[in-house]
Amino acid sequence: MIARDGSVEINGTFLGFDGEFYRVDTEFGTLTVDASGVNCDGPGCPDLSSYFAHVRFSGDPWAVDGLLSALVQSFAARSNYVTRIEPLERGQRVTMLASNTGPVMAEFDLLHTSDGEGFADLASENTDMVVSLREATNVEVRFAAEAGFGNLRDPIRARVLALDALTPLVSRSNTLNAISLENLQAVLTGKVQNWAEIGGSDAPIAVHVREHDFETEHNGFDLLPKISEFTDRMTTHATAMGVIEAIDADPYAIGFGFVSAGGPVKSLGLTGACGFFASVEAADIKANDYPLTLPVFLYTPARRLPTVAREFIEFATSPAAQVIVARTRFVDQSVGELSFRDQGHRFSNAISHAGDDVSLADLQDLTKLLQGSKRLTLGFRFEGGSTRLDAQSRSNTRLLARLLNAGVYDGKTLIFAGFSDGRGDGVSNANLSRRRAESVLRSVVDGAGGDFDATRTTLTTLGAGEAMPLACDDLEWGQRLNRRVEVWVKG
């Protein structure tokens, strides 16, 4: 490449062109060069007169087909493009045209790989974005950083498009409607091999899983066994529908499936001691109360993407996109409200487990404070052993910040209610839970930035300590489920 005035010459390997800038691998590293200031000379140089953006996505086939495809086509329609869809060997290509007979404006390749392959493609520059049903592992984060694609832990690199969840699935003819987490672990590891051992029929249990759901030891859920601990009698399937079809055909099978998959099978509720019960409901998934929730991530590199790709990212993470998500089988992130009555079972459970540190009077005070309020269907939880919010919660701070800026809660009071696990004394837990609530409030206000007018909405916090446990504290995952911040709206 030579500057148009001849003053500078850049030699290297052509890496790409985004419509505005060239990327060139040189002896000084990868350079990004404004195309308007240079002439490109070489076999890799694009024809600027016929250029259009070619954007590649790689990742989980279920999320690519069930979610990403719908978002891409909706984005094209909003941009007044005509779309042409053609199959690829592993996925599909969505071509966007100015009109039925007009020029091509962009090509989006939606490739079926897996979460792991997607991150490998990103590190090797074989994709522009990754669609994943799990967070990047430490190894994947390191490889991406070494390849110059930035910190994948950065929220701007890892955006949440929608929500899904894993759920235990059985045949509709199975007599069980719920399974304890302890029994689920025993079934997956082969310690329990007959339904009669956990209250079912006298029949052997057949375990089915999709191979990509547990492709790494990092499955994201401390309450599930690692893949290396799974029973060697399990059957793996290449697709999510393969698992569903196998369970539908065998009344004594159990497996894991996505909430978004649906199908002619039954989801089992999750139970535990301390009154814990979780069913796969959209409100519980949004509120981060269901323990096997799966955020659907869109990972992007720390390099310039074509304008049309940046416009798609902006659309895909906007409230308008959540309308499209709601039309799919995935769970959207739009914020709803749960009435005080909807939380009755939680208050009942709290009363039945009241003890020395949380008295009946404490619960009565909490009830009076929240009565007449509605709980928002977004919750905030923390990564294991950390004060850092988890991925879904980081996304929720941005969602709530947008709603505050839009004036949705003008004239109302938002109560950030912090809760803790039961370890430690009651006073310390109350103080700790209040500090967590204050931390989340600050994150939301920071996310709202200078556009937020603090006079329009009253923001307050409370520390309820261990007052309303969602699970038992004898296991680490139960402690993490109890350590949370809820948001209640009054007025």
CA distance 205 to 211: 19
For 166-175, 186-195, 469-478, which range has the lowest pLDDT when averaged over its residues?
Answer: 469-478
240 and 146 Cβ atoms separated by less than 8 Å: no
Domain spans, the chain: 2-49, 52-157+300-327, 164-285, 335-490
Q: pLDDT exceeding 90 applies to what percent of the chain?
A: 46
| Longest Cα–Cα distance in the chain | 84
Would you tell me the crossing angle of helices 69-78 and 319-327 to the nearest 10 degrees? 130
CA distance 352 to 273: 12
Give the HSE-up count for residue 279: Cα atoms under 13 Å, Cβ half-sphere: 6
Which residues are CB-contacts of 361 (< 8 A; sequence separation ≥ 6)?
none
Rounded to an integer, the average pLDDT of 217-239 is: 72
Q: What is the CATH number of domain 52-157+300-327?
A: 3.40.190.10
Rounded to an integer, the average pLDDT of 403-412 is: 91
Q: In this model, does residue 115 exceed pLDDT 60?
A: yes
Mean pLDDT of the chain: 86
What was the pLDDT predicted at 220?
47
How buried is 9 (Cβ within 10 angstroms: 0-12 exposed, 13-18 middle, 19+ buried)?
Answer: exposed
For 40-54, 61-75, 264-278, 371-385, which range has the lowest pLDDT when averaged over its residues?
Answer: 40-54
Q: What is the CATH number of domain 164-285?
A: 3.40.190.10
Q: In this model, does residue 166 exceed pLDDT 70?
A: yes
Rounded to 5 degrees, what angle do the CA atoms 450, 452, 457 make?
160
Rounded to an integer, the average pLDDT of 313-323 is: 93
CA distance 335 to 55: 31
In terms of Cα–Cα distance, which of 410, 412, 432 is closest to 420?
432
- pLDDT-based confidence at residue 218 (cuts at 50, 70, 90): very low
For 35-39, 147-151, 178-182, 421-425, which range has the lowest pLDDT when averaged over its residues?
Answer: 35-39
Q: What is the CATH number of domain 335-490?
A: 3.30.1330.60
Residue of higher predicted confidence among 66 and 182 = 66
pTM of the model: 0.84
- pLDDT-based confidence at residue 295 (cuts at 50, 70, 90): very high
Query: Which of left, alpha, beta for 426 (phi over 0: left; psi -120 to 50: alpha)?
Result: alpha
52-157+300-327 and 335-490: identical CATH topology: no
Task: Convert the pLDDT of each residue in 11-68 to its tens digit.
Answer: 878 676 776 777 777 777 777 777 666 777 777 777 666 678 899 999 999 999 999 9
What was the pLDDT predicted at 56?
97
For 299-303, 327-331, 363-367, which range has the lowest pLDDT when averaged over its residues?
Answer: 363-367
402 and 444 Cβ atoms separated by less than 8 Å: no
What was the pLDDT predicted at 207?
93
